[in-house]
Amino acid sequence: MTIKNQIKKSFLVSLWFMFLTFPILVIQVNTVENVIKWRWLNMIGVGIGSFFLSILWRYMLEKRPEKGKQTKKYQLFFLNNILHEKKIFFPVIILLSLFVLCFPYIFSMYQTNIMISALIYVMMGLGLNIVIGLAGLLDLGYVAFFAVGAYSYALLNYHYGLIFWIALPLGGILALIFGVILGYPVLRLRGDYLAIVTLGFGEIIRLVLENWNDFSFGPSGISNIPKPCFLGIDLSLQGTTKYLFYIIVGMVALTIFVTNRLQNSRIGRAWIALKDDEIACQAMGINKGKTKLRAFGLGAMWAGMGGVIFAAKTTFINPASFTIWESVIILCTVVLGGMGSITGVVLGALLLILLPEYLRAFSEFRMIIFGAVLVLMMVFRPGGIIKNVRRIYKFDPILEKNSVKNEVNS
């Protein structure tokens, strides 16, 4: 497209925006004095602003690398390279772990608390990453398993005085069982249908918790859930926060370890293969249903354990903590970070949870910014912040020279 054409289009866009925002930004009716104030300055602002944004948008679209030709460019993306260079990888990991270990001593308790919440999301993002990123099953009711975990700790503690350390694996296992029970009938659906059914399931769990007073204490929730105890010693408030921080750090590390192992195992590869071609998988003797069910159950298990930690952290839970929005946010962390990439998901979750905390000033616009960022991401970096390495073709230069024809099927 020529520059003249671009400017013309941007001009039309700005006209359209001025027209659209006219009623809300220009006309102001003062109902007390019954006068109308015309704020023409706003209109000029909208016009100029949208004009330049439109130009910028077009410019970026032009610059965006062509599909299929982008492999080289993405390979140069520094984070991927860093993570594959052993010399850089280990020092970075050591520094990072030192920083994490000192975190509660460097920063205030407030910061530590925020970090704990963020890490819970990291853990769940990684769990959902198994389901969506690896197995390609769009699960929109993930929060249901989070709720199962949280409520299993809260209720088991309330009725039987179960301690945190027993509830943690138990909550995971219960969530896994729920996942399998739900997954069994549902996993024969694909794509959109699966998304809708899981969405419904998430809401059902929340509604049951809200209305089944005898069982879950309804909307008033359950309070006084004990924080984890350390060798039977009651720690101070500050002490428990630090302790909880290390627990969740440990859990995140475990999650990363397990997902990494899964990704490089036969079952992990089967998930990736199943995402691409079900018929070929069946011809290889991969049981479609069983393999998907495993991904679904494993993902649910991490959500369940996340739920237990969440209940221990807040010491109070009610159904309002488990709305569809939580599912959406976890989904966003996975999509934004880069489906299937562990580093990407960790980074995505941290960004998505920490930024709103520290940008309290913009909290009203949170959802708008969320939406805008997602749209921008999908246009300019459809693979997420860190593209899954597997999705990048690595050519051995020598092989490439010999290769007659490199077909890139994407």
* Contact residues: another protein, CB under 8 A: 266, 269-270, 272-273, 276-277, 279-288, 390-391, 393-396, 399, 402-410
Specify the residue, 234 or 400, whose C-beta has the smaller distance to another protein.
400
Angstrom distance (rounded) from CA 138 to CA 338: 15
Residue 108: CB minimum distance to another protein, A: 45
Residue 190: CB minimum distance to another protein, A: 16
Residue 289: CB minimum distance to another protein, A: 9
Specify the residue, 33 or 66, whose C-beta has the smaller distance to another protein.
66
List the structure tokens of 300. 């649910």
Task: Please name the residue ranges forming H helices in 107-163.
Answer: 109-128, 143-160
Angstrom distance (rounded) from CA 346 to CA 119: 9
The CA distances from residue 360 to 119, 355, 373, 394, in Å, are 19, 9, 17, 42
Specify the residue, 6 or 70, whose C-beta has the smaller distance to another protein.
70
Residue 269: CB minimum distance to another protein, A: 5
Specify the residue, 230 or 395, whose C-beta has the smaller distance to another protein.
395
Please work out, in degrees rounded to the nearest 5, the angle formed at the alpha carbon of residue 374 by the alpha carbons of 372 and 378.
120
Task: Please name the residue ranges forming H helices in 22-84.
Answer: 40-63, 71-75, 78-84
Residue 393: CB minimum distance to another protein, A: 5
Residue 382: CB minimum distance to another protein, A: 15
Residue 396: CB minimum distance to another protein, A: 7
Residue 399: CB minimum distance to another protein, A: 6
Residue 186: CB minimum distance to another protein, A: 19
Angstrom distance (rounded) from CA 144 to CA 198: 9
Residue 398: CB minimum distance to another protein, A: 9
Report which of 27, 57, 53 is spatially closest to residue 42, judged by C-alpha positions.
Answer: 27
Specify the residue, 22 or 395, whose C-beta has the smaller distance to another protein.
395
Angstrom distance (rounded) from CA 270 to CA 286: 7
H helix or E strand, kind and range, residue 197? helix 191-211
Specify the residue, 232 or 397, whose C-beta has the smaller distance to another protein.
397
Cβ(225)–Cβ(96) under 8 Å? no
Q: What are phi and psi of 37, to 5 degrees?
A: -100, 130
Specify the residue, 23 or 397, whose C-beta has the smaller distance to another protein.
397
| C-alpha Rg value of the chain to the nearest Å | 25
> Residue 196, CB half-sphere, CA atoms under 13 Å: how many?
5
Angstrom distance (rounded) from CA 270 to CA 281: 8
28 bridge partner residues: 37
Please work out, in degrees rounded to the nearest 5, the angle formed at the alpha carbon of residue 183 by the alpha carbons of 181 and 188.
135
List the structure tokens of 94. 């050591």
Q: What are phi and psi of 189, to 5 degrees?
A: -80, 160
Specify the residue, 84 or 266, whose C-beta has the smaller distance to another protein.
266
Angstrom distance (rounded) from CA 350 to CA 347: 5
Specify the residue, 26 or 273, whose C-beta has the smaller distance to another protein.
273
Specify the residue, 110 or 395, whose C-beta has the smaller distance to another protein.
395
